[in-house]
Amino acid sequence: MRIVAGLFALLTPWWILVDYYAFSWPLWGILTGSRVLASLAFGILACSFARSDAMPDAYHALSLLLAIPTLFYLFSHPLMSAFNMDAFASMLAVGYAFLPFVMVAGLAMFPITALEGLLFALPSGLAVLLVAFMQLDVSGWAEYAGSMWLLLLISMVATLAGIMQLHFMMVLVVQASHDTLTKGFTRRTGEELLGLLYRQAERQKTPLALAFMDLDNFKSINDTYGHDEGDNALRQAAKRIQEGVRRGDILVRWGGEEFLVIMPNTDIAGARIAIDRLHATGFGYRPNGSLLTASIGVAERLADDTASWMRLVELADQRMYRAKQHGKNRAVLTDGQEVAA
């Protein structure tokens, strides 16, 4: 948004040279003043808006970006009808009448929804209608009806392009945040989500449980049967874990054969229920038909009195290794209690 506003601020004054050549005084002088004001407005917009991920800030910035040329159109188009022009000046004046179409077409640059496209195109349509009422004695309704129809078509095409942009961005975000093999979140995204959920749990003083899982004897699958069978085992395990946890729980592929399940608003008793459910569901089968098992370490924010999400993960990791040392295929809870499958 800031880049677009900055470009408009730099490019708008250059058209003053065309106005000077095409229009007589005082018309070109008035247009020059209005262009300078528009350029200043674009410059202020480019400098005043800081980078933000908040949608209200984006709506505000885009609204102001479209408002500036809309006001310029409402001022300049009726102004030109009051002056007599030669053929060349009349041809350029028609370009000013196309300003609403350019603004609406510009919506194609932004990833927007259908409703957002309608709302952002609406002011341009209202501006054309207002100018039509102001100039009924100059141009008939037929001309403006055709303009409105063309504006509607351009709005639809621009909005469709914006929707396609939005869909493409959503696909990229999903691909970047999810592990392609297991469909769980990547570790980087998982860390961001865990940090967010941990801070939220601290503010609301609610529990937050983690289950750190490592598939038992996974290396032997790759060594004996190959990496394709290893990938198949990982897919099975991820699917079974997703089936065994709640819809609101988050599965993260932490690395290799390690998985982390984030369970918001879950105390140690709730985590124990989740572990029992996972043991009942199982983690799939090895290539030789035997059961695929996992060692699990459980940590909970309140029970472990942790100061950070990193410490919570560290405790869950330590308990997972304790489960491996004590025979694998089991879980170690916050109080050291072991839950065998």
Q: What is the pLDDT of residues 268-327, one digit of tens each?
A: 999 999 999 999 989 999 999 899 999 999 999 999 999 999 999 999 999 999 999 999
pLDDT on residue 277: 92
Residues 70 and 29 reside in one and the same domain? yes
Residues 86 and 199 reside in one and the same domain? no
pLDDT on residue 70: 85
What is the rounded distance in angstroms from the CA atom of residue 27 to the CA atom of residue 72?
14
Residues 138 and 245 reside in one and the same domain? no
- Out of 122, 155, 177, pick the residue that ends a domain: 177
Residues 142 and 254 reside in one and the same domain? no
- Out of 152, 177, 202, pick the residue that ends a domain: 177
Number of domains in the chain: 2
pTM over 0.95: no
Residues 195 and 80 reside in one and the same domain? no
Residues 173 and 194 reside in one and the same domain? no
pLDDT on residue 36: 86
Question: CA 252 → CA 130, 181, 189, distances in Å?
Answer: 55, 12, 8
- pLDDT band per the 50, 70, 90 thresholds, residue 141: low
Is residue 293 assigned to a domain?
yes
Residues 59 and 206 reside in one and the same domain? no
Q: What is the mean pLDDT of residues 79-85?
A: 74
- pLDDT band per the 50, 70, 90 thresholds, residue 31: confident
- pLDDT band per the 50, 70, 90 thresholds, residue 125: confident
150: containing domain: 2-177
Q: What is the CATH number of the domain that holds 243?
A: 3.30.70.270
Q: Quick check: helix, strand or coil at residue 312?
A: helix
Beta-carbon contacts of 53 under 8 Å, excluding residues fewer than 6 positions away, are none
Is residue 182 assigned to a domain?
no
Beta-carbon contacts of 24 under 8 Å, excluding residues fewer than 6 positions away, are 83, 89
Residues 156 and 13 reside in one and the same domain? yes
Residues 291 and 154 reside in one and the same domain? no
pLDDT on residue 52: 66
- Out of 133, 152, 177, pick the residue that ends a domain: 177
pLDDT on residue 85: 73
Q: What is the mean pLDDT of residues 29-54?
A: 80
Residues 156 and 216 reside in one and the same domain? no
Positive or negative torsion for Cα 67, 71, 76, 77: positive
Q: What is the pLDDT of residues 218-259, one digit of tens each?
A: 999 988 999 899 999 999 999 999 999 998 999 999 988 999
- Residue 295's beta-bridge partner residues? 214
Task: Specify the range with the lowest mean pLDDT, choosing from 96-100, 107-111, 140-144.
Answer: 140-144
Residues 265 and 300 reside in one and the same domain? yes
